[in-house]
């Protein structure tokens, strides 16, 4: 197979913790040509550690290169639409981090741009690429638990989730004072940071689109200005009920973990991070999980598979392993949950369609 030449836009937390290491692992299929980040030091750190040829502080310069086959966009969601459309118009195939965009309208424009320019677009819902969820889904698809009735997922994140990763760089602060991920001007918080994963999995396991959602959210942690706690109940069109409680900003000693339970009329599937990390240290300060984040079963080698399968699809001219429409629907669900939590209303997904706005 021909090696594909890649450019990566946004060298922040998820790039350094997941995408760049995965690309390095996939070196037989991928050659990292260039990276771009508005923060020169972040881009330079990526070049130094992962061996890119060069770096740019303006992503458009990267897109202007003729020797790049695909771009991996690892920026915040509010930049995705602009950057994906630009990449599509530059003729690059696109892998873009979740959540797909900040609005459903933006997601539709991204899909339209990819189609108009005949490039592949895939959104990186990484959990679809883990052994854990693929095995669970396979059991469901084979009918081993009968008809699905309930999909329950809970996710917990400690305050210091990324502290053990020794990242070269962290979250970008657009206004210079606080990271975008905790700034209400730039994000809706847990609904898009975490819940879009759970929304996508719930929809996948339910095997249907959602009809409506009820949600509650709050700001739980200190010094936080976006909702870091979200709980919701989804009613799917086929009657399946989905639910998740997502709690961030838990004590530092608490592990990062995800729980999935799927109940059918003939059985159930349960997948937990083991109680709750493969490596735990007990000390005076309590229990710590030094390798929790990158060793968890619900992550395993997801990014290697996600990027590897995306590249393989380009190489052989196959459709993307994950249709961007799925990511668009997960985004719509997350935004519906935000609306419900703010208003107290049951929000129907039909309300989230751009034509009804």
Instruction: Report, in Å, the least distance between residue 46 CB and other proteins.
Output: 34
Q: Locate tokens 């305050």: which residue?
A: 159
| 339 touches other proteins by CB under 8 A | no
DSSP state of 210: E
Stretch that binds other proteins, among 49-57, 59-67, 218-226, 299-307 (CB under 8 A): 218-226
Decide if 324 contacts 114 (C-beta within 8 A). Answer: yes
CB nearer to other proteins: give 35 or 215.
215
Pull the structure tokens for residue 328: 């668009």
CB nearer to other proteins: give 88 or 215.
215
Measure the CA–CA gap between 332 and 338, rounded to whole angstroms: 10
Mask: binding to other proteins, 73-102, rule CB under 8 A, as x and -? ------------------------------
Is 41 in a helix, a strand, or coil?
helix
Measure the CA–CA gap between 322 and 306, rounded to whole angstroms: 9
Measure the CA–CA gap between 12 and 84, rounded to whole angstroms: 17
CB nearer to other proteins: give 177 or 265.
265
Q: Which of residues 219-258 bind other proteins (CB under 8 A)?
A: 220-222, 229, 231-233, 235, 239, 241, 243, 245, 247, 249-251, 254
Could you tell me the maximum CA-CA distance found in the chain, to the nearest angstrom?
Answer: 59
End-to-end CA distance of the chain: 46
Instruction: Report, in Å, the least distance between residue 218 CB and other proteins.
Output: 5
Choice from 263, 289, 303, 310 touching other proteins (CB under 8 A): 263
CB nearer to other proteins: give 194 or 249.
249
CB nearer to other proteins: give 126 or 340.
340
| 216 touches other proteins by CB under 8 A | yes
Measure the CA–CA gap between 114 and 242, rounded to whole angstroms: 31
CB nearer to other proteins: give 263 or 293.
263
Q: Which of residues 111-170 bind other proteins (CB under 8 A)?
A: 147, 149-150, 152, 154, 156
Is 161 in a helix, a strand, or coil?
coil
Pull the structure tokens for residue 157: 């994140």
CB nearer to other proteins: give 11 or 212.
212
Instruction: Report, in Å, the least distance between residue 87 CB and other proteins.
Output: 39
Residues in Cβ contact with 312 at an 8 Å cutoff, skipping those fewer than 6 apart:
1, 29, 318
| 208 touches other proteins by CB under 8 A | no
| Residues paired with residue 170 on neighbouring β-strands, in sequence order | none
Measure the CA–CA gap between 340 and 215, rounded to whole angstroms: 5
Decide if 324 contacts 115 (C-beta within 8 A). Answer: no
| 207 touches other proteins by CB under 8 A | no
The count of chain residues that interact with other proteins, using the rule CB under 8 A, is 38
Q: State the residues that interact with other proteins by CB under 8 A.
A: 147, 149-150, 152, 154, 156, 212, 214-218, 220-222, 229, 231-233, 235, 239, 241, 243, 245, 247, 249-251, 254, 263, 265-268, 340, 344-346
């Amino acid at each position: 197979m021909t090696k594909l030449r890649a450019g990566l836009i946004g060298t922040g937390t998820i790039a350094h913790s997941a995408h760049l290491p995965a690309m390095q692992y996939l070196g037989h299929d991928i050659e990292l040509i260039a990276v771009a980040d508005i923060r020169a030091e972040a881009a330079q750190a990526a070049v130094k550690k992962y061996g890119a040829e060069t770096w740019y502080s303006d992503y458009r310069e990267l897109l202007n290169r003729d020797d790049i086959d695909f771009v991996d966009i690892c920026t915040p969601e509010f930049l995705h639409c602009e950057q994906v459309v630009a990449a599509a118009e530059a003729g690059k195939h696109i892998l873009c981090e979740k959540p797909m965009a900040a609005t459903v309208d933006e997601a539709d424009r991204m899909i339209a741009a990819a189609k108009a320019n005949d490039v592949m677009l895939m959104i990186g819902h990484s959990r679809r690429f883990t052994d854990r969820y693929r095995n669970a889904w396979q059991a469901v698809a084979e009918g081993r638990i009968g008809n699905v009735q309930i999909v329950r997922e809970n996710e917990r994140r400690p305050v210091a989730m990324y502290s053990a990763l020794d990242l070269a760089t962290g979250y970008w602060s657009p206004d210079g004072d606080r990271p975008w991920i905790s700034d209400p001007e730039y994000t809706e918080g847990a609904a898009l940071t975490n819940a879009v994963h759970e929304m996508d999995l719930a929809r996948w396991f339910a095997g249907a689109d959602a009809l409506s959602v009820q949600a509650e959210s709050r700001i739980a942690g200190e010094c936080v200005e976006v909702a870091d706690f979200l709980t919701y109940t989804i009613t799917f069109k086929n009657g399946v009920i989905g639910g998740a409680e997502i709690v961030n900003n838990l004590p530092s000693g608490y592990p990062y973990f995800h729980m999935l339970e799927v109940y059918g009329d003939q059985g159930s599937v349960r997948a937990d991070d083991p109680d709750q990390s493969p490596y735990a240290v007990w000390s005076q300060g309590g229990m710590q999980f030094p390798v929790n984040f990158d060793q968890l079963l619900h992550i395993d080698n997801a990014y290697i598979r996600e990027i590897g399968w995306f590249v393989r699809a380009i190489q052989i001219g196959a459709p993307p392993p994950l249709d961007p429409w799925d990511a668009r629907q997960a985004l719509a669900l997350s935004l519906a949950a935000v609306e419900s939590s703010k208003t107290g209303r049951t929000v129907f997904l039909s309300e989230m369609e751009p034509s009804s706005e």
